[in-house]
Amino acid sequence: MLAQYHSVQADTVATDIVIIGAGPAGLALANLLRGTGVRCVVLERQSRHYVENRARAGLLEYRAVEALRRHGLADRLLELGAPHGVCEFRIDGKRFTLPYSDLYEGRTHYVYPQQELVKDLIAAFVDSGGDIRFEAKDVAPHDIAGPNPSVTWTDADGEQHRLGCEFIAGCDGFRGVSRSSIPAGGIREFSHQPGIAWLGVLAEVPPSTEHVIYSLHPKGFAGHMLRSPTISRFFLQCPADDSAAAWPDERVWAELHERFAVPGSDWALTEGRIIEKGVVDMRGHVTEPMAYGRLYLLGDAAHVITPVGAKGMNLALHDAEVLAGALVQHYQGDDSGLAGYSETCLRRVWRCQEFSQWMTTAIHGTGDTFGDRTARIRLENLFSSATSAAWFAENYVGLM
């Protein structure tokens, strides 16, 4: 294995892979490389405490859980997470449930908060001697087009470091340094902005439902997502230029009550203390290819997707699995995995983008325009056509 040491101050070690970012993508990659003989160092801008408590996604696809289980990374997830195989749509005040797991060979999601998975992945890596440098500031990749890339950063004590490596894995999210270090013309970027936003709300309250609720209402969409027995996630459609400041807690609960209402039913929404509020970007974005020279992009650094279909974290884990396999192959003398990394990942990314875009259109229309009406019919087809329902189930619970 090639390992280059570059002299600035500091590190006397070099490594095979520098992973930038300790989110689901970077941590999964680091763990999947454990025990393979491929060495890596993870650089994370934030503190360990910060990343272990950053609440984001919460639905893991069946395929992702199986992959984590195969690598011994799913013990706590299987103990504390909950399988999930039914979702509910509320359309014009009527309830429709879809048992998608039954329609897809019994495969389920797992409800498990992203920050819990991050905790598990950090513990598994660090406990087995893995090297994560938290609070790494000013991380910068260098010489990514040539055979001897390196990464520089400043540690919490203000010391500067440079680490030589053979490959860099850019796992630093949509606003990280990896993608932006690629020279102009090195990649193509595709973006779609649906012209709406969601107010994301995290509340200290047990869920008022056993399954995810997608509610269509003339005032806009409302979503009730599951996180844990004591924490629930809610979403409210809002204008793309809205801000959380315009949503005091009383307004949030009033809108949620109104948009979830089912006339004539005894269903009730339980209120609790709101612990986080923010406007969620609903853009879709894809980078092609997902690599440039010795830099490989994973997860949100390569693609972002609306949270509608709960795909972001799952795509990040899939990218990590594909790249880990390709890197191990590389060190066995076979570069076909690295050559095909981008194409393999992008096939899944675009299928998920298509599904999420379909869901976005279907659940946000008010039913008042031509396009809204066709989208509404397609949604209603899920409850009248077994073929439509099976298509939804396969895409929602995740491609194998």
Ligand X SMILES: Cc1cc2nc3c(=O)[nH]c(=O)nc-3n(C[C@H](O)[C@H](O)[C@H](O)COP(=O)(O)OP(=O)(O)OC[C@H]3O[C@@H](n4cnc5c(N)ncnc54)[C@H](O)[C@@H]3O)c2cc1C
Query: What is the set of active-site residues?
Result: 84, 214, 307, 311, 396
What is the closest distance, in whole angstroms, from the C-beta atom of residue 177 to ligand X in the complex?
Answer: 4
Distance CA 10, CA 163 (A): 9
| Smallest distance, ligand X to C-beta of residue 25, A | 3
Q: Quote the CA–CA distance of 19 and 178 in Å, as a whole number.
A: 10
DSSP H stretches of helix in 34-129: 48-52, 62-70, 75-80, 114-127
Backbone angles phi, psi at 202, to 5 degrees: -115, 125
Q: In angstroms, give the least distance from the CB of 171 to ligand X.
A: 5
Nearest distance from C-beta of residue 122 to ligand X, angstroms:
10
42 or 376: whose CB is closer to ligand X? 42
Q: How far apart are CA 392 and CA 385, in angstroms?
A: 11
Q: What are phi and psi of 75, to 5 degrees?
A: -60, -55
Beta carbon nearer to ligand X, 23 or 149? 23
Nearest Cα to Cα of residue 41 among 75, 80, 3, 68? 3
In the complex, the smallest distance separating the C-beta of residue 47 from ligand X, rounded to whole angstroms, is 10
Query: Between 21 and 376, whose beta carbon lies closer to ligand X?
Result: 21
3-state helix, strand and coil shares in percent for the chain, rounded to the nearest 5: 35, 25, 40
Of 362 and 376, CB closest to ligand X: 362
Judge contact between 187 and 149, C-beta under 8 A: no
CB of 302 to ligand X, least distance (A): 8
Kind of pairing between the strands at 295-297 and 167-170: parallel
Binding residues (CB under 6 A) for ligand X: these are 20-26, 43-46, 51, 56-57, 114, 136, 139, 171-173, 176-177, 233, 280, 299-300, 307, 310, 312-313, 316
Query: In this complex, which beta carbon is closest to ligand X, that of residue 133 or of residue 217?
Result: 133
Element (H, E) at 316: helix 312-331
Looking at the Cβ atoms of 283 and 378, the one nearer to ligand X is: 283
Q: Look at the alpha carbons of 82, 83, 89, 94 in this order and tell me if their dihedral is positive or negative.
A: negative
Residues 6+ apart with CB under 8 A from 346: 286, 288, 289, 290
Say if residues 323 and 29 touch (Cβ distance below 8 Å). Answer: yes
